[in-house]
Structure 1
Amino acid sequence: MLLVLSDEHKEHLAFLPEVDSAVVGEFGRIAVEFLRKGSTPKIYEGAARKLNVSADTVQHGVEGLMYLLSESSKLMISEVDFQDSVLVLGFPEDLNRLLLQLYLDHRKEIRQILSELAPSLPHYHNLEWRLDVMLASRALRHQVKPTVSLKLHLESGGDHIARVLQTDPATLLHLIQELERALAEAKTNHCRRILRNIK
């Protein structure tokens, strides 16, 4: 799978061939550090003074490198695909090798950082249900409607959460039909093609 870079990202990375390979390596280290702790404008200003360029140019270069490394790590691009993705930028061969080495050195760490940044969503653990029906009552003159009570147990980061839901059987049947229709839609060729492109 090749990584497709927008024109804006290509423009941000166009600054890299103008600097020494040691500077590109330092930019890679800064990019990983920024993924860990967030960016600090002071670093951009210090590097800009040393390189005699604007702070925005340095910031765009580091952010472009950060995007290249994080997207490549997120998609677990192979070495060959990474080289082919970077080849489009038109960089010299030694810079392409340096970028590949940066990627190989930091991809596991970047994947770890990205997994920690992902939100922890609650997930299904257990479901209890009960059907409540009043069989007879002298006070009720109209038809009795049954109620379905659901107790949904969720886990979120080691915590257990319970949610109680109540509905009538007709609404529950409608919900089941909609979910079955959504599952059937997920199996269509059109949806599979979209999912392949997302991965």
Structure 2
Amino acid sequence: MRHKEIAENIIRLKNEDLKLRDKLIKSGKLWNGYNEEMAKLHNKNAKELDDIIDDIGFPTIDKVGKEANEAAWLIIQHSIGQPSFMKKCVKLLKKAVDENQANPINLAYLTDRVAVFEDSPQLYGTQFDWDEYGALSPNPYDDEIKVNQRRKSIGLNTLEEQTQIMRNRAKTENEEPPQDFYKRKREMDEWRKSVGWIK
């Protein structure tokens, strides 16, 4: 019974995240660096979810249902200021996927996100950013043929198709490339150092 309450709580945290994101998109405040209000909410949600994981283990489908399991993944995916939590969750999510209790696509996204923050190549090409030419492109990945094979194996489209989708979404959400690519890269590296992604 308690797991039903926990599931509802996880879904509530996800909804708070999406509501704030929507508000920031509409006010044009989401894309200029890591918004302070968003960072605060992401850290709070990560802490609450970490407490839940300490209590019941990873919120797998059999424990909390599919919706709350997906919501937990979104909270983890957005907890970018908490490297140790994200890395812990990669292992827990992998175990859940191996046991058919979580979505392998979510594991691909989380694995790639951690790789990007640590300056490692992506395996699935799920993470995108603006390149130096002002185009939204996949972050570095190991090998396009292998990436597309891995994507296909879990039911994802090709990297080319996804690139087009991401560029169209950026237009829809009025996301624009940074005015100074190198300045933004320096700021991003400083932030990654400050939270512990890189040394």
Query: Quick check: TM above 0.5?
Result: no
Which of the pair is proportionally richer in strand? 1
Which of the pair is proportionally richer in helix? 2
Q: TM-score, normalised by structure 1?
A: 0.26
